[in-house]
Amino acid sequence: MAANPSEKKETRFYYPSEEFAQNAAIPSMDAYWALCKEAEEDYEGFWGKLARENVLWHKPFTKVLDETNPPFYKWFEDGKLNVSYNCLDKNLENGNAEKDAIVFEADDGTVTRLTYRELHKRVCKMANGLKSLGIKKGDRVVIYMAMSAEAIIAMQACARIGATHSVVFGGFSAPSLAERIENAGAVAVITADEQVRGGRYLPLKAIVDDALAMIDDNKVKNVIIYQRTGNEINFVKGRDHWKHELTDSQSDVCEPEWVDAEHPLFILYTSGSTGNPKGAQHSSGGYLLWAIMTMRWTFDIKPDDIFWCTADVGWITGHTYNAYGPLAVGGTIVLFEGVPTFPHAGRFWEMIDKHKVTIFYTAPTAIRSLIKASTEDTMVAPENYDLSSLRLLGSVGEPINPEAWLWFYKHIGKERCPIVDTFWQTETGGHVIAPMPGATPLVPGSCTLPLPGLSISVVDETGQELPNGQGGILVINRPWPSMIRTVWGNDERYKTHYWPEELGGRLYQAGDGAIRDPQTGYFTITGRIDDVLNVSGHALGTMEVESVLSAHPMVAEAAVVGKPDDLTGESICAFVILKKELPEGENAKDVAADLRKWVSREISPIARPKEIRFGANLPKTRSGKIMRRLLRVIARGEEITQDISTLENPAILDQLKKSL
Ligand code: WT7
C-alpha cells in the first residue's frame, strides 16, 4: 500500500548519504521492497532461508512454521540449537576470539574490556557453577542485577545450560521482585551485593532477602552473589554463594545444552492493564534469528562498529540489543553502569567520544532530559565533545517527538547519521516497525515501515483494515519468529489479551493506536489504547499503581491516569480518596509525599505519581465505574466538554480540579 518515497526526493524527508546507502545491508528501497515481496510470495521459504543462513543449528529444522493451534505458533520446531553457542563459540571459530565483546564503563569511569575468548571462559565457568548447584535445563533462574558484564554472563550462562532466565530490573522493589520470583517458580536468584548508580550505593542482595521472605511457596534453593562493592551483606549459609567462590575453580569449558528451537530462553515480565505483570515467554530459535536480523537490517552492524545501547538488561531492549543480538553478530558493545547525568549531563557524549561509538541507541526521555540539561548548562552540551565516530542513531521506548528527533539529528548526528526510530515491545522480541537506515527516507516522528517479512496493519474495532490517513488499532497480521509464545503459566491470558476475539482471533493486537500517512504508508504510533502508561519508555499498568495506592492504610480508593509530560513522555497523576477527611495544605503535602514513597517502595521509583490530587470521592457512573476519561481531562487541566449525564456525583469534579 505504501508508495515508494525514494523515487522522488522530497524536502520533508531526510535521506542517508550515498556512502551510507552503498555500504548498507539494505542499500535502497528497491532492495527493501524486494525482501517484502519475497516474504509475501513464500512466507515460510523467506524465514526458513534466513534461519538457515544466520543461525547455527545443532540439528537442522525441517518445518518452518506450525500454525495448527493458533495463537500458539511454533517456529523451526524440530531444530536444535544453543543461543550461547551462537553468541560465543561461533565467534571463537570465525576469527573474533581476540575482539572486544564487551567494553564496560563503571559508574566511576573505570573501563574493563572482555574479549570473546574471555567472555566465553567466564560464561562457561558460570554455567559450570550453576550446574554444580544442580541447576539444569528448564529450571527458572531470576537475575536481579545492575548493568554489568556479570549480568550478561549470568544470562548467557543460563542460556548455555538451557535454564530459562527472568531478569528483573534492579530498580524494582522487594514485593515486585517477590511476585516475579514466585510466578516464574524460580529455583535460584543471581544478584550482586549492591549496585552503584550516580555515585550512590544501592542494595540488591538485601532486597532479594526481603523478597524471598515474602514468598509463601518459596522454591529458591540458591542465591548467587556477585561482589560489586564489597560492603557487608547478610549471608545465609547453605543458600547463599559468592559468585567468585562458586566459579573460580570451575572448568572454563562447558558443553552447551542443545535445546529445541521453541525452548523458552527467557521470561520477561511486563505490565498489563489489569492484574499482575505478565511473564512474556520467549523462544530460543525464532528469538535469536530476529535479534540477528534486526542487528543487520535496522542497525546495519559492521565488523568495526562500536555499538552502544543504553538500555538496562532488565528491559527487553537490553536483552535483544545488549545481551544477545550484538554478540550473535560478533559485535563490540559498550555497556554502562551509571546514569546519563552523573557526574555531569555530558556523560553520554563524553562516552561516545571516549569509546569511539559508531551506533548509539537510546530513549526519547533521555534525549529530552539531555536537551534540557545542555540548554541550562553549555558545559555539558554535545558541542564540547568529538562525536565524529557516530554513523547511526536509534530511538526506542516511546514516540519521539519531532523536536527531540531534530535535535538528536542535528546536535548528535551532525546531520550525517540516519536515525532509526524503532517501534516494538517486550512481546515482539525485536523491532517490528523501523526504517532501514540506508534506504528509508526519514520523517521525524514516524517509525516508518514494517521490517521486511512483517505484515502490519491499522484496523478498526472489528478487525477491518482501515485506509491510510485513518487512525485505528495497530495489529500484526501473521505470526513472526520472535513473537511472544505465551504468558508464562497462563495460556488463556495470552490468547485473550493479544489475540482478541473482537478482531477475529487471528490478529496480534499490540495495544497501540496508529495511523498511516496517506502518501507514504508510513506509520505513526499514537499511543496506548489500553490502560498501560508509558513513563520514560517503561510500560506501567494503571491498575498496578492503583492497587498499591489502595493498599496504603490511609487510602480508601485511588485512580491513576497518564498525562503528557515534556520530559518523561507521560507522567502519572493519581486521584486519591482517603479513609479519613480530605487533607488540606501542609497536611495534604505530607500525605502525598508519604504515598509517593510508598509506591516507590512497593513497585519502583518509576511508578511514583508525579501529581497526587485528593477528593472526597471519584467520578463514577451510576453503575459504579470510575470515569477515567474525565480524570484524564482533569489531569491535563482541560475543560470538561464530554457528556457527564451518566455521572453519579458531578459536584466532585470541581474538587478534583484543584491540584496541590
Ligand atoms: C510499548 C512497549 C520496545 C522496547 C522498550 C519498551 C511503546 C516502544 C516505540 C516507538 C512509539 C513506542 C509502545 C509499545 N513504544 N517503542 N519507537 N514509538 N512507541 O518495551 O515496555 O514492552 O513497551 O512502548 O507503546 O507498545 P515495552
Which letter does DSSP use for residue 444 in this model? Answer: T
Atom of ligand 1 nearest to the CA of 424: 3
User: Which residue stretches of 249-355 are H helix?
Assistant: 285-297, 316-318, 325-328, 347-355
Atom of ligand 1 nearest to the CA of 539: 21
Stretch 85-111: mean pLDDT:
98
Stretch 21-31: mean pLDDT:
98
Q: What is the pLDDT at residue 272?
A: 67
Stretch 342-365: mean pLDDT:
97
Stretch 122-130: mean pLDDT:
98
Which of 270, 298, 425 should be mutated for ligand 1, with most atoms under 8 A from CB? 425
Query: Measured between alpha carbons, how far is residue 297 from residues 2, 318, 438 in Å?
Result: 19, 18, 9
Task: Indicate the SS3 state at residue 547.
Answer: helix
Q: What is the pLDDT at residue 3?
A: 44
Atom of ligand 1 nearest to the CA of 525: 11
In a domain, 306, yes or no: no
Count H helices, E strands: the chain? 21, 30
Q: What is the pLDDT at residue 6?
A: 46
ipTM of the complex: 0.99
Stretch 508-530: mean pLDDT:
93
Of 93-107, 166-180, 430-444, 639-653, the least confident: 639-653
CA dist., res. 356 & res. 395, Å (int): 19
C-beta of residue 269 within 8 angstroms of C-beta of residue 277: yes
> pLDDT for 279-328, tens place per residue?
999 999 999 999 999 999 999 999 999 999 999 999 999 999 999 999 99
Whose cell is 513513563? That residue is 535
Minimal CA–CA distance to 362: which of 326, 315, 325, 396? 396
Grid coordinates belonging to 214: 515474602
Report the CATH number that the domain containing residue 559 is assigned in CATH.
Answer: 3.30.300.30
In a domain, 582, yes or no: yes
C-beta of residue 468 within 8 angstroms of C-beta of residue 1: yes
Which of 313, 483, 525 should be mutated for ligand 1, with most atoms under 8 A from CB? 525
Residues 6+ apart with CB under 8 A from 574: 545, 546, 549, 558, 559, 560, 595, 609, 611, 612, 613
Q: What is the pLDDT at residue 641?
A: 80
Measure 567 CA to ligand 1 centroid, in angstroms.
16
Strand partners, 74: 66
Q: What is the pLDDT at residue 659?
A: 61
Q: Is the pLDDT of residue 11 over 90?
A: no
Stretch 371-391: mean pLDDT:
95
Measure 425 CA to ligand 1 centroid, in angstroms.
5
In a domain, 393, yes or no: no
Stretch 114-139: mean pLDDT:
98
Grid coordinates belonging to 270: 511486563
The verdict on whether residue 200 carries a ligand-binding annotation is yes
Q: How far is CA 8 from the centre of its chain?
A: 36
Measure 98 CA to ligand 1 centroid, in angstroms.
36
CA dist., res. 312 & res. 300, Å (int): 22
In a domain, 77, yes or no: no
Whose cell is 542487528? That residue is 295
Grid coordinates belonging to 523: 506509520
CA dist., res. 425 & res. 430, Å (int): 7
C-beta of residue 164 within 8 angstroms of C-beta of residue 139: yes
CA dist., res. 434 & res. 105, Å (int): 29
Q: What is the pLDDT at residue 315?
A: 96
CA dist., res. 28 & res. 442, Å (int): 13
> pLDDT for 611-639, tens place per residue?
999 988 888 877 677 888 889 999 998 88
Q: Which amino acid is at 415?
A: E
Query: Nearest residue CA, atom 2 of ligand 1?
Result: 425
In angstroms, the first-to-last Cα distance of the chain is 50
The verdict on whether residue 308 carries a ligand-binding annotation is no
Strand partners, 450: 433
Domain that holds residue 651: 536-657
> Which of the four pLDDT bands, split at 50, 70 and 90, describes residue 275?
low
Q: What is the pLDDT at residue 584?
A: 87
Q: With pLDDT > 90 as the criterion, what percentage of the chain qualifies?
A: 84
DSSP letter for each residue of 549-560: HHTSTTEEEEEE
In a domain, 112, yes or no: no
The verdict on whether residue 428 carries a ligand-binding annotation is no
Q: What is the pLDDT at residue 199?
A: 97
> pLDDT for 466-513, tens place per residue?
999 999 999 999 999 999 999 999 999 999 999 999 999 999 999 999
pLDDT mean across residues, the chain: 94
Residues with CB under 6 A from ligand 1: 270, 315-317, 396-399, 421-426, 447, 510-512, 525, 528, 534, 537-539
C-beta of residue 397 within 8 angstroms of C-beta of residue 312: no
C-beta of residue 607 within 8 angstroms of C-beta of residue 532: no
Grid coordinates belonging to 409: 539529528
Atom of ligand 1 nearest to the CA of 527: 25
Residues 6+ apart with CB under 8 A from 377: 345
In a domain, 609, yes or no: yes
Q: What is the pLDDT at residue 1?
A: 39
Measure 368 CA to ligand 1 centroid, in angstroms.
17
Q: What is the pLDDT at residue 9?
A: 62
In a domain, 394, yes or no: no
Q: Is the pLDDT of residue 274 over 70?
A: no
Minimal CA–CA distance to 212: which of 188, 237, 194? 188
Q: What is the pLDDT at residue 108?
A: 98
Please state the domain count of the chain. Answer: 1
> Which of the four pLDDT bands, split at 50, 70 and 90, describes residue 2?
very low
> pLDDT for 550-593, tens place per residue?
889 999 889 999 999 999 999 999 999 998 888 888 999 999 99
Grid coordinates belonging to 34: 524486494
Residues 6+ apart with CB under 8 A from 541: 271, 272, 273, 274, 277, 531, 532, 533
In a domain, 617, yes or no: yes
CA dist., res. 170 & res. 183, Å (int): 18
